Amino acid sequence: MTSANLARVPVLALTLIFAAFIASAQPVSRVILPGHVPASVSRLAPIGRLESGTELNLAISLPLHNLEALTNLLEQIYDPASPQFHHYLAPDEFDARFGPTEQDYQAWVDFAGRKGLAVTGRHPNRMLLELRAPAATIEAAFQVTLQTYAHPTEKRTFFAPGVEPSVDARLPIAYISGLNNYSRPHPQSLHRSPLKSSSAPAPQLIGSGPNGNLAGFDYRAAYVPGTALTGAGQSVGLVEFDGYYPGDITAYENQTGLPGVPLQNLQFHSFNGTPGTYNGEVALDIEMAISMAPGLARVVVYEDDPNNGLFNTVLQAMSTNTQIKQFSSSWAFTTFGSAERTTMDNYFLKFAAQGQTFFEASGDAGAYYNPIQTPQDDPYITVVGGTTLATAGPGGPWLSEIAWNAQEGTVLDSFPDSNLIIGSGGGISTTYSIPTWQRGVSMSTNHGSSSFRNSPDVAMVAENIFIVADNGQQENTSGTSASAPLWAGLAALINQQAVSSGSNTIGFINPALYNLGTNFSFNACFDDIVLGNNTNSVPTQFIAVPGYDLCTGLGSPNGGSLINALTKPDGFIITPGRGSVGNGPVGGPFSVSGQSLSLTNIGQPAFNWSAGCTSTWLSVSANQGSLASNGTSSVTLTVNSLAHSLPAGVYAANVWFTNLTSNLAQLRQFTLQVSQELVSDGGFEAADFSYWTLVGPPDVYTNDIVDFGGDTN
């Protein structure tokens, strides 16, 4: 090295040191994070400042990468024609392809260390970093002042920043949860009332529970009659923001004859599971899931304190457990801004990619109010509306359903400042565009949107529900909070059959449901709810109509046929999906004396079929046959003379149709009510009302005679 070069070395070193000094002296660019100041703050005067030593939990949500590639992959995973169909990602695969990077995550860990924020939770998928610190430390880290305010609609104070927080622009971030507690999760369940001996019984004593309410095995009798599936080997995960009394679940199982299903509790943010005001919501969810799927391996209860509202911590924990294929929530998280919705959607996208499905109650305030509670309109979950169910009696078969609409002008427990109807939630999103799987639905008569996401997707019973809650109290409840966990239990039955047949589990169920709901299989797989409404301030929003509607979605499940269609489709379609109901005095005549069923092979190789009936008073016109590809045949069920000798009572004839190639069987029930009242019978298209007593609010019925097809008088 020459002397000239040696002379330049100190100068170069000094230049680099000086440049580094200048760079470090430059102010770090910061970015404002919108969506953290509740809208009400601008209209409120602060009461004071949050005490500086108040310890707060925060959850830093980091953004996913390659979102376009993720959504494209999901379309392939749920497209039966794609080689990627039902090829789900393992959590580590998802994290490697779409999750935040190690560098992104470490940058936040370093930031927390510099600012004095304690890291209380690190997660391998790097989507969430949990922090805890005193209010003063948080204020300094995010350059905010946390003030207290009187809540405008609730009897409490809340804290929130007066301005939006900011962070170093180099830090990747989607949202900071925990900077305010303006909104807290609340249950969708409408109300509960203690059962008393003087309580009015449910119409027609439709269930086997006290006062004729629905309980235990009643749901299986109505929706999956004849199935041996119990959910064996499957688990259900429940989102909860309160604790529950374990003895309540045991008491419910003992009273209804259900087996004991193992429960596992996972608790967050130092919540110890002590039951609070909303313990009945938790008990309801557990009891409905095990009623539909009494053979579950376990129910996993994800419990957090409702005062925290850090819902992403619960979703984060769920996303790591791919042994659970079905989750359910009966809670409205809160009213979210776009940034907070994005953090929530990232988990729902992860569920779908990993082959998991998430059911959410549609709410109990009828046609959607504004703003829509989250996540009732989310396109990455299955939203479940409510119905009023009529059965032939305790433990008896399904008779009919209408859209759940209890009464108008009643103040809801969940929305004490409102004056909304009590009924199945449904409506049109103002946030999300219409998903691909919903685009094939006709919106010409249901007042739905062809541009934005419509809800709900499906429905199930939401009224006359018996539960045990509040430390041993027997109660009657209603609300779509019952409907969602019932569907989660049904999903466990579906996945049990998928596993036993060697197929992949169903994953995110909406694409498959809407595929069935927009083709020839619809009337075989769903009970189309065509009566009732959930109208709110606008009389046309919304009316139940044939096909999809914004009261009950595609309808309620016709269990056996739907399970077969989703797990091992064999092309054997039997319509209509339900049998008929006849009613009359001892000796007859009966209002409906027969039914015609259509048997179709939709594009499969020719197969033989057989039929068998469990009751001698019902004749079947053919007990075997053959169906060519795309061929159709018909079978007639006829009440014969032996029915005239039946004493008063309710009788259900089970007619089994078996595809002798696949060995899959489907059940159709013909119900005969001898000297019994009839509740809004599904076979009423015969137009004989002479033996009817309609029980329920008159405003939810119409005078139209709707033809379901197939019955003969």
- pLDDT beyond 80 at 650: yes
- 362-398 in b/e burial notation, b at 16+ Cβ within 10 A? bbbbbbbbeebbbbbbbbbbbbbbbbbbbbbbbbbbb
pLDDT value for 421? 67
**CA within 13 Å, CB half, 413:** 16
What domains appear along the chain, each with residue ranges and CATH number?
A: 30-64+99-177 (no CATH), 186-559 (3.40.50.200), 570-712 (2.60.40.10)
- pLDDT beyond 90 at 437: yes
- 674-697 pLDDT, tens digit each: 986 554 443 333 333 333 333 333
pLDDT value for 191? 61
First vs last Cα of the chain: how many Å apart?
110
pLDDT value for 202? 64
Q: For residues 575 and 526, is the Cβ–Cβ distance under 8 A?
A: no
- 71-87 pLDDT, tens digit each: 999 999 999 999 999 99
pLDDT value for 23? 46
State the pTM of this model.
0.89
pLDDT value for 632? 95
pLDDT (mean) for 445-457: 96
pLDDT value for 455? 96
Using a 10 angstrom Cβ sphere, with 0-12 exposed, 13-18 middle and 19 or more buried, the burial of residue 598 is middle
- 474-515 pLDDT, tens digit each: 999 999 999 999 999 999 999 999 999 899 999 999 999 999
pLDDT value for 713? 35
pLDDT value for 190? 55
pLDDT band at 710 (very low <50, low <70, confident <90, very high): very low
Closest CA to 479 of 276, 283, 187: 187
pLDDT value for 201? 64
pLDDT > 70: percent of the chain: 86
pLDDT value for 400? 92
pLDDT band at 458 (very low <50, low <70, confident <90, very high): very high
pLDDT (mean) for 19-36: 70
Q: How far is CA 40 from CA 46, 149, 155, 547, in A?
A: 11, 10, 15, 40
pLDDT (mean) for 89-114: 96
pLDDT (mean) for 176-200: 75
How far apart CA 206 and CA 234 sit, in angstroms, is 29
- pLDDT beyond 80 at 2: no
pLDDT (mean) for 454-458: 97
pLDDT > 90: percent of the chain: 74
| The residue to which tokens 């396109």 are assigned | 379
- 137-173 pLDDT, tens digit each: 999 999 999 999 999 988 999 999 999 999 999 999 9
pLDDT band at 628 (very low <50, low <70, confident <90, very high): very high
pLDDT (mean) for 290-308: 94
Convert 575-643 into a string of H (helix), E (strand) and C (coil): ECCCCCEEEECCCCCCCCCEEEEEEEECCCCCEEEEEEECCCCEEECCCEEEECCCCEEEEEEEECHHH
Calculate helix-pair angle for 102-115, 135-142, nearest 10 degrees: 120
- Give φ, ψ of 203 to 5 degrees: -55, 130
- pLDDT beyond 90 at 264: yes
